[in-house]
Amino acid sequence: MHMRHISKSFGATQALDDVSLSIYPGEVHALIGENGAGKSTLIKVMTGIHQPDQGEILLDGRPLQIRNSAAAQDHGIAAIYQEPVIFPDLNVAENIFISHRDRGAIVRWGRMHKDAATILAKLDVKLDVRMPARGLTLAAQQAVEIAKAISLKVRVLVMDEPTSSLSAHEVAQLFKLISTLRNQGVAILFIGHRLEEVLEIADRVTILRDGKWISSALRSQVTTEQVIQDMVGRQIEDFFAKSQAERGDLLMSVRGLSKENVFSDINFDVYRGEVLCFAGLIGARRTDVGLALFGVEPADAGHITFAGKEVKIHSLEQALKLGIAYATEDRHRFGLAILMSVATNITLPTLRRYLTALGLVRQSDEYATAEEYRQRLSIHAPSVKVEVGRLSGGNQQKVMLSKWLNAGPKLLILDEPTRGIDVPTKAEVHHMINALAAQGLGIILISSDLPEVLAMSDRVLVMREGRQMGLFDRKAATQEKIMTAAMGQNRPAMEAQP
């Protein structure tokens, strides 16, 4: 299969820019890149979910038009994801053949069970085809997904982060399955963030960055250092750099923060006027730590000292009373009331300030506050009375920031504050973060954008799969060092807490 000069944009965002990729029968081709590199978009073009703006796809030398996932399936192109699509109330055989449209209206149960057992045997997977899928382990569910693809005569199999939730033993089982498929002539596109696993299983490696093709090479021709360099080769100077603010007193100290099966033994300090960045790849559990500090998903163990006092944060209300605010990465689902006005959104967490003795909203005061933030943060809206849903993504982000700034926080947790917004607005948000730090706020910035992390941080805490992998001050942090820690390559020693 050949993808030639594929380009795809969504509005002003260029997700793919002239990307070419070839996948050959009987090989495992690894596709690597940072979050936002364009990997997911390329997969969706390949499987018919998105149509490319430019470029072509060829199979056996013939151009294809893959208009939907059913068409991709007809051509033998399938994908499995980190969360298998399994119907828990159906048995193993039913899950394997659920996508078939050519076996007639009457189910021949005996034939289906026999065919399912044959496919699993080819994969050397021992499962009872009559058992309900509800009781399967995640690794077994993935095996069923692979068997489903085999039943559809798959020729090109995309595996998107298939090891992210697997134990070391389950990964070994999966790699055995992949080797079996490779020996049967299936072309496999393998996407992963665990670099040591990717380089173990891959025959060839392609790297994307910012929606562009960067390099392709045989596995034997690349090193870990080269892969990381290609992944993070952007110039930090292209982004707004944080000016150095004077650091104030210790605001928060966290020791041994843990939540069972989520994250463990997280340790850091945050000072007034400081930006502490949480860095890591998908599945690092950075957001879970932020939610624990905000009381939404409290930690099970550990100690938190805030403004000189040891505290237990078990609810959002407790966090707000302490002076902790959290701007979520998902502004549509959790950050904003999209159908309500700009003014209502900005004053929502502090609504009691705007109520009369009878419980009615003093709209003049509410509008005055909202107008102050509209001007202060340059929110482009015709009026504070307009629905937030009518604003651009960048302006919605500014409304959400206004909402939490109006609460008067001492510590502001910003989770992916520039995701999905254009470059000029991103620069505005960076300036805001810089100004807030200069005013003495402590800021925790959770970001998947490595140039942003390096440009905006005073210190960087790197996480991987719920574990703290490194803590670097601004001078010590480099792109290579952060990516090496995020991928679990030679876990670095922790920098001393200042």
Residue 331, burial from CB neighbour count under 10 angstroms (0-12, 13-18, 19+):
buried
Phi first, then psi, for residue 464 (nearest 5°) are -150, 115
- Which string of b and e fits 130-147 if b means at least 16 CB within 10 Å? eeebeebebbbbbbbbbb
Residues 156 and 187: beta-carbon distance below 8 Å: yes
pLDDT score of 192: 82
On whether residue 496 sits in a domain, the answer given is: no
Q: Which of 200, 216, 231 is the last residue of a domain?
A: 231
β-pair type (54-59, 62-64): antiparallel
pLDDT score of 390: 84
Query: Is residue 193 located within the same domain as residue 342?
Result: no
How far are the Cα atoms of 57, 116, 159, 468 from residue 280, in angstroms, in the given order? 33, 40, 21, 10
Query: Is residue 301 located within the same domain as residue 262?
Result: yes
- In this structure, the number of other CB atoms found within 10 A of the CB of residue 71 comes to 14
- Summarised one tens digit per residue, pLDDT across range 64-97 is 889 888 899 889 998 888 777 889 889 999 999 8
Q: Which of 231, 262, 293 is the last residue of a domain?
A: 231
- Of all residues in the chain, the percent with pLDDT exceeding 90 is 45
Chain mean pLDDT for the chain: 87
pLDDT score of 496: 42
Specify the number of domains making up the chain. Answer: 2
Query: Is residue 212 located within the same domain as residue 286?
Result: no
The rounded distance, in Å, linking the Cα atoms of 231 and 208 is: 7
Judged against a pLDDT cut of 90, whether residue 154 lies above it is answered with no
Average pLDDT (287-303) is 94
The rounded distance, in Å, linking the Cα atoms of 493 and 220 is: 29
Name residue, tokens 């879970």: 288
- Summarised one tens digit per residue, pLDDT across range 382-416 is 899 999 988 877 788 889 989 989 988 999 999 98
32: left (phi over 0), alpha (psi -120 to 50) or beta: beta
pLDDT score of 250: 95
Query: Is residue 300 located within the same domain as residue 340?
Result: yes
Q: Which of 215, 231, 247 is the last residue of a domain?
A: 231
The rounded distance, in Å, linking the Cα atoms of 346 and 336 is: 9
- Residue 227 domain boundaries: 2-231
pLDDT band, residue 266 (cuts 50/70/90): very high
pLDDT score of 8: 94
**Least confident span in 233-237, 317-321, 376-380, 441-445:** 233-237
Closest CA to 410 of 314, 300, 274, 277: 274
On whether residue 464 sits in a domain, the answer given is: yes
Closest CA to 75 of 57, 97, 91, 93: 57
pLDDT band, residue 311 (cuts 50/70/90): very high
